Amino acid sequence: MKEIDELREVLSQTLGWNRARLTCFCQIVLALFRVRSVNLTQLATAFQGKAKLDSHYKRLQRFFRELKFDMLDAFKIILQIFPIKRKVWLIIDRTNWQVGSKNINILTLAMAYEGTAIPLAWFVMNKAGNSCTDERIKLLEKVIRQLGPSKIAGLIGDREFIGSQWFDYLIKSEIPFYMRIKEDTLVKGARNGYAVSLRDLFRHLKEGKKKC
């Protein structure tokens, strides 16, 4: 139970929960590492203690049924566990899957931390398909308010996260960004205004280099 005690001590500094709820949350966090699944039945098998499996399962159900978890609390916990000592790169991504007939579509902003991505904020979209500029800006500004612009090295995203309004916002906000774009995408040349493919525009650029 030492792991639970140590984690509970850390989380108690941020969350104003009672000891029983904090202990249950710590059990969940540690169980996630053990079983690598969010399935409640599997999580219950990794709970520590002498209670029966069915009791652990019902405890999990009760915890999530009664849970009111503010994103700001989650953000504070993450920064407490993963302290930021220098500028961080942010990663924007989206995950979409279906549970029965229901679409689960989540826009997520994470920070790159020692070779992995730690989610900082997320937005559940009540629709299928890509995010829009307003949704991305709303999510990014939540993180900026907590981290401060001086802590952000830049933003990385896949080819889904493109668009003139979106790029204009990032440029005006002085946030460096690197987005994947198809090599056959046409852009206007700076000198003559003619359309040119990105493949041709960057054909002389070596790997690891950039062109402003």
Contacts of 177 (CB under 8 A, 6+ apart): 154, 155, 156, 157, 167, 170
Question: At 190, is the pLDDT very low, low, confident or very high (cuts 50, 70, 90)?
Answer: low
The larger pLDDT score, comparing residue 23 to residue 189, is at: 23
Count CB neighbours of 121 within 10 A. Answer: 22
pLDDT tops 80 at residue 90: yes
Quote the pLDDT of residue 126.
82
Counting Cβ atoms within 10 Å, is residue 11 exposed (0-12), middle (13-18) or buried (19+)?
Answer: buried
**Rounded mean pLDDT, 109-124:** 91
In the chain, what percentage of residues exceed pLDDT 70? Answer: 97
Q: What is the dihedral of CA 49, 55, 59, 61, to 10 degrees?
A: 140
Domains and CATH numbers, the chain: 1-69 (no CATH), 87-181 (3.30.420.10), 183-211 (no CATH)
Quote the pLDDT of residue 156.
97
Residues 201/188, Cβ–Cβ less than 8 Å: no
Looking at residue 39, what DSSP letter applies? -
**Rounded mean pLDDT, 172-194:** 84
What is the pTM assigned to this prediction?
0.78
**DSSP per-residue string spanning 44-65:** HHT--SSS-HHHHHHHHHHHHH
Kindly report which listed range (10-14, 51-55, 92-96, 168-172) carries the lowest average pLDDT score.
10-14
Question: At 212, is the pLDDT very low, low, confident or very high (cuts 50, 70, 90)?
Answer: low
Q: How far is CA 84 from CA 92, 148, 176, 189, in A?
A: 18, 11, 19, 40
Give the whole-angstrom CA distance, residue 195 versus residue 179. Answer: 20
